[in-house]
Amino acid sequence: MSGGKRRFVNRLNDLSNRDWLLFQKSWFVHNPPPRARDVLVHPAKFPETLVQEFIEFFTKRGQLVLDPMAGTGSALIAAMRCGRASLGIELSPKYAGIAQERLAAERERLEGQSELPPARIICADARHIPDLGLPEVDYCITSPPYWDMLRSKGFETQQERRESDELDVAYSEDQADLGNISDYHAFLEEVAGIYALVAERLRERAYLTVIVKNIKKGGTIYPLAWDLARRVGETLTLKDERIWCQDNQRLAPYGMGKAWVSNTMHHYCLNFRRE
């Protein structure tokens, strides 16, 4: 009808207007549940509960989600739970195997609730994305290694992990592992290069979310989140950031009595789009 009010169509997701607005807050508090035993071995897993919120905002049911650094499959599990197909790439055969087992267990747990979407893990180096024959994807959510910080003796809970025979301290000893690159700028370029390859597989106007934080090493702040925002922003358009706050972590008296050293309890969720 000429001059009539145009009907609103949500082309991005399946959320209600209320849930859409709630997600638009620039910061949020998310304290994930305790990690399950089968994934505790991985030193830096991100929570399915958090990932699912992002997947539900940036996709519709049935669309395809990619994680090029899949670890033990958190993004794929989250995608399955909300009816999205998923594809993960993981360098470590050990973690890829755990991801396979978790996906099988999750599929069995959800059996009968609805028709479950496909989920696939590929054990490969994400630098080889052009050779993997990946389909076009509707959304990518991922988190890179935080440089080689897992090899730093003072990094967060490393002492506890070093005292355990079952828990990994670092991702692997593989020279292809990004977490084993000692030079910060070389590491940054490798990660940005992988996201440039991901960008080539994103459909037009699809989003990439990178969960990352700035890091401290040797008394210096390395602005990993900001550097990645700048570098990846040369390939994709940086649209916004959401700050993930965790308020249930134990405080430590770093530098007390002599220097300012913060307890870092937030991550940046950087949202890029292929224009």
Count of residues in the chain: 275
Look over the chain and give the mean of its residue pLDDT values, rounded to a whole number. 88
- Per-domain residue ranges of the chain: 27-273
- pLDDT score recorded for residue 111: 84
Question: Over the stretch 139-152, which tens digit does the pLDDT of each residue have?
Answer: 999 999 988 877 66
Q: What is the pLDDT of residue 36?
A: 61
Q: Which one-letter amino acid corresponds to residue 143? A: S
Phi, psi of 64 (to 5 degrees): -105, 130
For the chain, the 3-state helix, strand and coil shares in percent, each to the nearest 5, are 35, 20, 45
Helix (H) or strand (E) holding 268: strand 266-273
pLDDT at 2: 55
Residues 197-213: tens digit of each pLDDT: 999 999 999 999 999 99
Q: For the chain, list residues with pLDDT below 70.
A: 1-4, 35-45, 151-172, 174
Find, among 223, 81, 197, 213, the residue nearest to 140 by Cα.
197
| Pair of tokens at residue 183 | 């030079």
Enter the CATH code of domain 27-273.
3.40.50.150
pLDDT at 113: 73
156: its two tokens: 């967060």
pTM over 0.85: yes
pLDDT at site 107? 93
- Please report the pLDDT score of residue 85 as a whole number: 98
